Structure 1
Amino acid sequence: MKNKSILFVLFAITLLFLAGCTEDKKNKAKESKEVRDTIQVAITRDSGADKLDAASYDGAMSTYTAVYEPLVEYGEKGDIKPALATSWDISEDGKTYIFHLRDDVKFSDGSKMDSDAVLFSINRWKGKKEYDWLKTASTLEKADKVDEYTIKLTFSEPSAFILNELTAARPLRVMSPNAVEPAGDPDGKFVKAIGTGPWQIDGYVKDKETTFIPNKHYWNEKAEIGKMVWKVIADPETRSLALQEGSIQLAGAEMSRIPYQALLTFKEDDRFKVESRPGTMSYFLVINNQREPLQNVKVRQALNFAVDKENLANNLLDKNGYAAKGLFAETVPFVNDVNSPGYAYDLDKAKELLKESGYGEDGKKLKLKLALQTEEFPEWKQIAETIQSDLKEAGIEITLDSMESTAYYDNLWGEQDYDLLIYRSYADGLNPQGFLDSLFSINENGKGIAYTDKTLSAQIMNAAKALSQEERQATYNTVLSYMNDNAVTVPLFYPNDIVVHNDGLKGFVWGPISDDPVRWNKLKNEE
């Protein structure tokens, strides 16, 4: 009897052990599925998910494009494609736009996207001063409902770049009327991000991470994965290490750049894939022509001749882009070799121009302060140091002022306490007109942000009114040639768009704009 009892106990223990093993296998299988069903992505700064009003400037660009969609989408070389609007009609005078909306789209809360919803979004920014930098906002007179899925926009003057502005990440995308309280009130208080995009926000920890899940009502191609986590990793070197150790699976593009010196490591490691394509962005030096020495065109030209851009592109930046000629790359509409020939490296010419201006070996020393930041653009430190060395060869003394990113932007847009500043052009739909307007047009204070020149400002305003392709090309030839001849900036480099991901992450497809760098809904982890 005693032996039977012992056998029974042993049998029971065996059953418990087997049951435990089975449960453990189930848990591990579940955890494995969750890992496969989730991707971890690096982002440089907080996503701002708790204040992601579509008509605001408070969140990270890439967060807007994950959640909200535009009426129209940007294509290669400025080709405008359907998005929430299937088609559009423009009047002969360029002042009236009629948009025909998709009739099969829902917001992530299940409510329908129709004319009323689009007009709610438009009325949220219409007539408000903070949006006046956009032609779409500053010239919009009326927004009317034609029928349930058709709207009409009437403008006070024509602008060829209304469609381009509508493609941007913010602040003109479409948001659900239920995103505010009281619901549907264009002046209501923002409550929650509700868009028509492929993703919706599921969790948020400020300055740490944002969790996205697929929008189950998404009208287009559904996401291949069940969860996407964006982790804030401000330091570029830490981002590289996080990729290598596997705590993130993807980083890059404007949302989380990888240092160029680290790219070679990833290119040589079979565990990773480096995606690269020519971009629409450019790096350049802003020249503060409010400073006396920089009012002299010969000094500005000398700066252009003294910087070896080919060396920057091919050696320092390891061919991850192209040496710049004009302010904009040729991937930007209306840019060509005729209107943007640039300045070839010519140290002797630079010294000659400086001497004619009273500087150099036989004159006074030209001393300039160069401002930069490295949180978003880690390669700018090396670029600035190389520029410092190049200009020293020409007889110009450069002091580098590396700033925290918030202070840097305050300096650019407000204080303007610099002689030179490394900056970058916008990307995609806002080039060239939106960028020219915001930095080189004279504002109500009688100054431009990046350069003050009444002739240039008038030319930019004229370009905005041109409608036909021929007129637009002619006006941009005038603007860009003037900028080149007068050395308004020092173009440096056209960076490629670059994304690094582990090799197990499949389905990578580039997004339509730099602020929407990846078609996230196509990504999936290898089984």
Structure 2
Amino acid sequence: MINKKWLGILVLLFAMLLAVSACTGDDTGSSNEESNEESGNEDGAEEVAGEKTLIFGRGADSIQLDPSKVTDGESIYVTNQIYDTLVRYEEDSTEVKPALATEWTPSEDGLTWTFKLRDDVTFHDGNDFTAEDVVFNFERWATSAEYIYYGYMFGASEEDLGGIIESVEATSDYEVTFTLSEPNAPFLQTLAMPPFGIASPKAVEEHGEDYFKNPVGTGPFVFSEWVPDDSITVTKNNDYFGDAAKVDKVIFRTIPDNGARFMELQSGSIDMMTGLNPQDIQTVDADESLQNIERPSMNISYMAMNTDKEGPLAEKAVRQAINLAIDKEKLVSLYEGIGKPAKNPLPPSLWGYNDDIEDYGYDVEKAKELLAEAGYADGFDITLNTFSNPRPYMPQPKVSAQAIQEMLKEVNINVEVIESDWDTHLSLTENGEHDMAFLGWTGDNGDPDNFLYVLLDKDNAKMGSAGNIAFYKSDEVHDLLKAAQTEMDQEKRTELYLEAQELIHEDAPWFPIAHTTPPIAANSKVVDYVPHSTGSEPFNMLDIQE
């Protein structure tokens, strides 16, 4: 007779075996609905046993799953699986191709855009997708300043919530027309950005303020479960109009520590991870069971200086001195090969990049001279806010902050490093509660406007929702950036952006740090994964092969 103790152990072991089977799949690696029909399996047991599950490890939890309200990559990674946009980017570029819209026609003056829509799409809640749903979403985004990206990209404000979009009209069941108040050169590329994923109106109305944790879209995966600070699960959308997902389930696991996350990858507990420590890249390369996949670089890490606060940072000479007092080459060496020093807000991969600008360089004596001229020969005390979780553009934020702290001691600037979790850090910087702060940006649409206007225009220096966390408010730069938005000729736009970068460099609201090629480590069984330069991508094309 088996006693209760051994019976309990046997039950536990059996449960663990089932869990491993569900996570890794069987030897065939294929058990979708179609294969079950072919085999005549009616009870579905083999489908569960052979289910393909991708477990994706990341450094922080999502903030929320209503993409129009967030700017963090951890949220967008998930929402990219759940929602579709009117148009989407090509797999390996920011060129635009059809998605929910099949074709589009701009008017000659650029003020009207007409989109023809697919007529075979349903939301995850079973409702048909029509032009009225597009109207609903754009009107929703234009009702409140809390829809941050709408404001960033379409110039909306509390005084003018619609921004440049004057109206969105359903001209038939499957045709929608946008009327703009002025031409907008990046308009089409902007519509492909994840924040403009189309949500089910019924779900938005049903869940109200809780919609952010009950997302319903039309994408290749359906939201299943969110366990805060632990995991988010999405499952394959069997009715997807596009390329059907090859895996049945994706679990986004939150594992804050880079080293712990890497150990889970090595043990097989997860299949992919971001935030690989640079020193672990060689370990991945030497392990045949793993692979290192580089994301194309379209990003910037920087230290913003709050120009809106009374005190030393309000002085241009002080900001220039700080740029001179930091040894950028030494700082970027902490990236261990995945970062290159930055001198502009734009990454060099984008058109409009001003390569003629000469970086400040490292010159402690010149920094001391500027500080003395500004009345700060004896230095001052200041804070530097950083985040605890690694980001694609900054793999070791605390170590980087401590390095700057030591360097600025040489010019009598005493820095207090304040470390916060990611959500808290975003909140305090958007509200201007910092002196200096680390942040970064991965481009959304391949247009210079997405960096310069979003991150450094006075329109986006609003307390509570600032993308411009330096709170830099240059009228000259603003005029150049607005002119570039309405100019449809790319050569003329380039000239405007070149000039804007010169002014920004002179005013020094930032200390630009690095552009990175973020590594993504994965089990070698993960195939057909193509990382996008925008920082995230739908997972319907990747597969797991045994």
TM-score (norm 1): 0.82
Aligned to 1:19: none
- Which one of 124, 140, 145 corresponds to residue 165 of structure 2? 140
Residue 223 of structure 1 contacts residue 521 of structure 1 at CA under 8 Å; is this kept in 2? yes
> Is 1:150 aligned to 2:175, yes or no?
yes
Aligned to 1:417: 434
1:3-18 correspondence runs (5 A): none
> Is 1:368 aligned to 2:382, yes or no?
yes
Residue 282 of structure 1: how far off its partner (Å): 0.5
Distance 2:366 2:18 in 1: 71
Residue 158 of structure 1: how far off its partner (Å): 2.4
Rate the CA distance shift 1:453–1:99 in 2: closer, same or farther, 3 A: same
Per-residue Cα deviation, 1:495-524 (whole angstroms, up to 9, x for no partner): 2132111122222222462133xx422332
Aligned to 2:344: 326
Aligned to 1:285: 303
Per-residue Cα deviation, 1:1-26 (whole angstroms, up to 9, x for no partner): xxxxxxxxxxxxxxxxxxxxxx99x9
Aligned to 2:269: 247
Aligned to 2:102: 86
Tell me the SS of whatever aligns to 1:417.
Answer: coil
Aligned to 1:271: 289
Rate the CA distance shift 1:80–1:336 in 2: closer, same or farther, 3 A: farther
What is the letter of the counterpart of residue 478 of structure 1?
Answer: E
Aligned to 1:303: 322
Distance 1:485 1:146 in 2: 49
Tell me the SS of whatever aligns to 1:60.
Answer: helix
Per-residue Cα deviation, 1:427-475 (whole angstroms, up to 9, x for no partner): 2228643444444333599886413333233433333333321332122
What is the letter of the counterpart of residue 65 of structure 1?
Answer: N
Residue 438 of structure 1 contacts residue 449 of structure 1 at CA under 8 Å; is this kept in 2? no
Rate the CA distance shift 1:446–1:98 in 2: closer, same or farther, 3 A: closer
> Is 1:179 aligned to 2:179, yes or no?
no
Residue 387 of structure 2 contacts residue 397 of structure 2 at CA under 8 Å; is this kept in 1? yes
Distance 2:141 2:179 in 1: 15
Per-residue Cα deviation, 1:86-106 (whole angstroms, up to 9, x for no partner): 332222332211112234433
Rate the CA distance shift 1:133–1:243 in 2: closer, same or farther, 3 A: same
> Is 1:167 aligned to 2:198, yes or no?
no
Aligned to 1:525: 544
State, as a whole percentage, how many aligned pairs show the same letter. Answer: 28
Distance 1:191 1:396 in 2: 44
Residue 199 of structure 1 contacts residue 214 of structure 1 at CA under 8 Å; is this kept in 2? yes
Tell me the SS of whatever aligns to 2:151.
Answer: coil
Tell me the SS of whatever aligns to 2:177.
Answer: strand
Residue 306 of structure 1 contacts residue 394 of structure 1 at CA under 8 Å; is this kept in 2? yes
Residue 191 of structure 1: how far off its partner (Å): 8.9
Aligned to 2:244: 222
Distance 1:439 1:505 in 2: 35
Distance 2:422 2:226 in 1: 23
- Which one of 376, 379, 383 corresponds to residue 396 of structure 2? 379
Per-residue Cα deviation, 1:14-70 (whole angstroms, up to 9, x for no partner): xxxxxxxxx99x98997642476112111333346xx73455449811111111011
Distance 1:394 1:35 in 2: 62
Residue 324 of structure 1: how far off its partner (Å): 0.8
Distance 2:367 2:533 in 1: 40
Tell me the SS of whatever aligns to 1:113.
Answer: coil
Aligned to 1:501: 522
Distance 1:94 1:198 in 2: 32
Residue 348 of structure 1: how far off its partner (Å): 4.1
Rate the CA distance shift 1:266–1:66 in 2: closer, same or farther, 3 A: same
Rate the CA distance shift 1:282–1:191 in 2: closer, same or farther, 3 A: closer
Distance 1:72 1:341 in 2: 38
Distance 1:398 1:379 in 2: 18
In the alignment of these two chains, the number of paired residues is 487
Rate the CA distance shift 1:470–1:208 in 2: closer, same or farther, 3 A: same
**RMSD, aligned α-carbons:** 3.3
Aligned to 2:5: none
Greater CA drift, 428-437 or 133-142? 428-437
What is the letter of the counterpart of residue 500 of structure 2?
Answer: V
Distance 1:187 1:96 in 2: 33
What is the letter of the counterpart of residue 67 of structure 1?
Answer: I
Aligned to 2:79: 64
> Is 1:427 aligned to 2:443, yes or no?
yes
What is the letter of the counterpart of residue 236 of structure 1?
Answer: N
Rate the CA distance shift 1:133–1:214 in 2: closer, same or farther, 3 A: same
Residue 324 of structure 2 contacts residue 361 of structure 2 at CA under 8 Å; is this kept in 1? yes
Aligned to 2:115: 99
Distance 2:434 2:265 in 1: 37
Distance 1:496 1:525 in 2: 24
Greater CA drift, 214-223 or 139-148? 139-148
Rate the CA distance shift 1:115–1:446 in 2: closer, same or farther, 3 A: closer
Rate the CA distance shift 1:56–1:140 in 2: closer, same or farther, 3 A: same
Per-residue Cα deviation, 1:385-425 (whole angstroms, up to 9, x for no partner): 2222333344433222222333322221114232x211112
Greater CA drift, 278-287 or 389-398? 389-398
Per-residue Cα deviation, 1:233-269 (whole angstroms, up to 9, x for no partner): 23333222221222111111xxxx2333333432333
Distance 2:66 2:529 in 1: 28
Aligned to 1:398: 415
Distance 1:444 1:381 in 2: 27
> Is 1:389 aligned to 2:396, yes or no?
no
What is the letter of the counterpart of residue 167 of structure 2?
Answer: K
Aligned to 1:478: 499
Distance 1:511 1:105 in 2: 25
Distance 1:372 1:324 in 2: 19
Aligned to 1:52: 65
Residue 90 of structure 1 contacts residue 96 of structure 1 at CA under 8 Å; is this kept in 2? yes
Aligned to 1:354: 371
Residue 62 of structure 1 contacts residue 169 of structure 1 at CA under 8 Å; is this kept in 2? no
Distance 1:126 1:295 in 2: 33
What is the letter of the counterpart of residue 166 of structure 2?
Answer: E
Distance 2:322 2:263 in 1: 37
Distance 2:105 2:66 in 1: 28
Larger Rg: 1
1:435-514 correspondence runs (5 A): 435-442=451-458, 449-455=469-475, 456-511=477-532, 513-514=534-535
TM-score (norm 2): 0.79
Residue 54 of structure 1 contacts residue 175 of structure 1 at CA under 8 Å; is this kept in 2? no
- Which one of 184, 190, 194 corresponds to residue 216 of structure 2? 194
